[in-house]
Amino acid sequence: MPSDVYYIETKNDEPIDVIGSKLGKLIDASGILNFIKKDEFSGIKLHFGEEGNTGHVKPLWVREVVKKLNARTKNVFATDSNVLYKSSRRTNSVDHMKLAYEHGFDFEAIGAPLIIADGLFGKNFTEIPINKKHLSKVKIASEIASCDSLIVLSHVTAHMQTGLAGAIKNVGMGCAARRGKYEQHSGAVPDIDLSFCVGCGLCSQDCPASCIEMKKERPVLHKDSCIGCGECAVVCRTKAISIKWSETLENLQEKMVEYACGVTKALSGRIAYINFVLNVTKNCDCMAQDEPRIADDIGILASYDPVSLDKSSADLLNASCRGDVLRKTYKEIDWTSQLRYAEEAGLGAMDYNLKKVEYV
């Protein structure tokens, strides 16, 4: 059965306060937050932007969502999880929150506190059984799995690994703890560069397969018993351990979908999704730079169905470009595979009813 997707238009370079007003109109007209109950703990999942990036969802727009949520519950917080790549300031919660504050996501600006959902070093997760094609259980950032409800704000872009980055990626990759992100990207054993090792032994202590042995204050990996979970790379504080990502792009998209299914299960489906199809760039907000648009601004869309939401967002985007701009941007990536698999996995429906909201 088709899902309802609500849509309000925006134009290139509209003032951010006008876009904020349109967002408020969309929320009211769609009733997208009507499921929120009094005094429940409601998280707002977003991306605070990598250092040097300005394409991310703006603090003023988050404030609009917080204001609407506060009419229903005072227990509102903004959240994200730590990332894998070591060049980022978002690999630990201290630097992650500092960067978020630098980008304007402080309490005074958005009206809600920030919580990095997977702990100081990305080790805190809740395992959710899903029994899907690739994974039997997934590792969801603990504070997201503990929410009563979740509002997912996604900046839609193209993406170098998934073709399309929207609600599904924001939930599937963005709500995973660091170990879960490794699980989606790789099944390979780690490499240990002893020139960076300080002999702390954290990798050995935290290895769930007990396959790292400390000898003369240096780690020795027993590869035959390694399960490829990536936990050692997560806990290593000196960048001595790395994992070579080996998943095919299609498998990565499917694992990402399975993680999104895990988040949905953990929250009993109490999730609303809002996509910002504005300043659509070649890469996502993890890039530490500004990038030019690959399309004109489209608008803001809202739905309870992430599959319908991402499909309608991409359809509107491609229609405005008179062709598949996502496939043109990354010719080797079939971005539709994540949508097909998401529908097969029961995450949502590709069919949708688009309901336009007028801004007067």
Say whether both 153 and 199 belong to one domain. Answer: no
Say whether both 195 and 170 belong to one domain. Answer: no
Say whether both 341 and 264 belong to one domain. Answer: yes
Of 243, 261, 277, the position where a domain reaches its end is 243
Say whether both 253 and 265 belong to one domain. Answer: yes
Say whether both 285 and 305 belong to one domain. Answer: yes
CATH number at residue 234: 3.30.70.20
Could you tell me the residue range of the domain that residue 202 belongs to?
189-243
Say whether both 167 and 285 belong to one domain. Answer: yes
Q: Is 167 buried (19+), middle (13-18) or exposed (0-12) by CB count in 10 A?
A: buried
69: Cβ contacts below 8 Å, ≥ 6 apart: 33, 36, 42, 44, 76, 151
For the chain, how many structural domains are there in total? 2
Q: What is the mean pLDDT of residues 27-44?
A: 97
Say whether both 347 and 238 belong to one domain. Answer: no
Say whether both 121 and 261 belong to one domain. Answer: yes
Say whether both 345 and 211 belong to one domain. Answer: no
Tens of pLDDT, residue by residue over 178-237, are 889 988 877 667 889 999 999 999 999 988 778 999 999 999 999 877 866 677 877 888
Say whether both 220 and 352 belong to one domain. Answer: no
Could you tell me where the DSSP H helices lie in the chain? 16-30, 59-70, 93-102, 107-110, 142-145, 167-172, 178-185, 202-206, 231-235, 249-266, 306-321, 325-329, 336-344
Tens of pLDDT, residue by residue over 84-124, are 776 688 989 999 999 999 999 999 999 999 999 999 999 99
165: Cβ contacts below 8 Å, ≥ 6 apart: 154, 155, 156, 157, 158, 159, 284
CATH number at residue 68: 3.40.50
Say whether both 266 and 235 belong to one domain. Answer: no
Tens of pLDDT, residue by residue over 281-319, are 988 887 767 778 899 999 999 999 999 999 999 999 999
CA–centroid distance for 10 within its chain? 23
Supply the pTM of this predicted model: 0.87
